[in-house]
Structures are given as structure tokens and as C-alpha cells.
Amino acid sequence: MQVVVASNNAHKIQEIRTALDFPGWEFVPLKAVASYPEPEEDGETFLDNARIKARAAHEATGMPALADDSGLVVDALDGAPGVRSARFAGDHGDDGANNRLLLEMLDGVPDEQRTARFVSVLVFIDADGAETVARGTVEGHIGYTEVGDEGFGYDPIFHPDVFGGTITMAQVSMEQKNAVSHRGNALRNLKEQLLAMADSHLRSS
């Protein structure tokens, strides 16, 4: 079964392929199957935007679709950058500018108030249009400078609690990151739900 991923982000698609390793399932990027106007991600929550992207991909292709919306939530900034994480500094996907702006806004904020978390929400729509939602988070805090060459986005300034808070998400391998990341946690949750539904279907048939 082919599933269209409502993204062309190679990092994200590879993470999905690794986590959802169902026999016979193939996850393909949008550019490989369809061309259509990108839907406006004008939702107020990660779930809103993931649903907008999944529905648009499903309707455009007729295929099962999977979409993710994720971002960074900083407590001292009342949840910002939140759903605007990718375009926080203005231009979509300018990681360096986003990180610099965030650090500037947190200038003078003490350690104990720099708590934050990455959030990921996944929406999977099957061939019949039924929707499954999964969520994952990873807690941590924002550092003072960018450290590390791995990962992308806010990884160089995010210190996850799971690694003791002493290193950033950009200082660990992709395998280590996937084992604890917000998207990794959401994908594991989605996999559990899909396996449970498949088992229930087999039992009732």
C-alpha cells in the first residue's frame, strides 16, 4: 500500500519510513505523486494544521495520507513559537534566523524559566477517509547558544531532559534522536494504534 506523506522533507519522510515499517507499506513524498496548491496552514493548533495537510493530500491523490505538524513550545514566551515555529522569524524554514530570534527574545531569562518542549501531532487518513490522530512530546529547556551539527530546526538550542539537559538535540545521532524525539514518540503512538486496529479487524472478520 502506498501512503502519501504531506511533505517533501527528506529527514521527516525517512523517520516515518523507519518508524512505520509495516510490510508492504510504501511512504512517498508529495512531489512523487501529486501537484496541487499548498493548503493554507491557518489552524490555531498543531492538530488543526496536521489535519489540513492530511485532508488536502488525501483529496488530491485519493491515497491514504499522513501529515505531521510540529514545533517548539517555550513556556516563557506563552507557548511561542508554537504553530509558527518554521516561520517564526518571517521566512519559512530559515533555521538560523528562527534560532537567533528565539535566543534574543529569551535574553535575560534565567535557567529555571527557559523550559520548553517539542510537540508533534500526526494525522493519518486511510483509503476510506477514516482519521487516526497521534501525539508526541519531548521536554527540555532552551540554551544560550547554538551547539551541535546534527539535526535541523531548533535542535542546536534545545536541551532535552532525557539526555540530562547537558547536550542539545543537535549533538546526538539521528538514531538517538529518533528514539526520544517528539515525532518519534508520535510515530510510535500511531503505530500502536494502527496495529491495534488491524488486530481488532482480524478478530472480527
Q: What is the mean pLDDT of each run of 10 residues along the chain (205 residues)?
A: 89 86 90 82 94 95 94 98 94 91 97 97 95 97 96 94 95 89 94 85 59
Give CA–CA dist 160/155, Å, rounded.
9
Give the count of beta carbons closer than 10 Å to the beta carbon of residue 99.
21
Pick from 164, 170, 176: which is nearest to 145 by CA?
170
pLDDT for the residue numbered 27: 93
Is 69 annotated as catalytic? yes
β-pair type (158-160, 65-74):
unpaired
pLDDT for the residue numbered 200: 66
- CATH code given to domain 2-204: 3.90.950.10
Pick from 49, 15, 48: which is nearest to 29 by CA?
15
For 114, phi then psi, to 5°, come to -100, 25
- Catalytic-role residue among 21, 69, 91, 161: 69
Pick from 113, 51, 57, 116: which is nearest to 81 by CA?
116
Give CA–CA dist 118/138, Å, rounded.
5
- With a threshold of 0.85, does the pTM exceed it? yes
Pick from 41, 116, 123: which is nearest to 83 by CA?
41
* Helix, strand, or coil (residue 134): strand
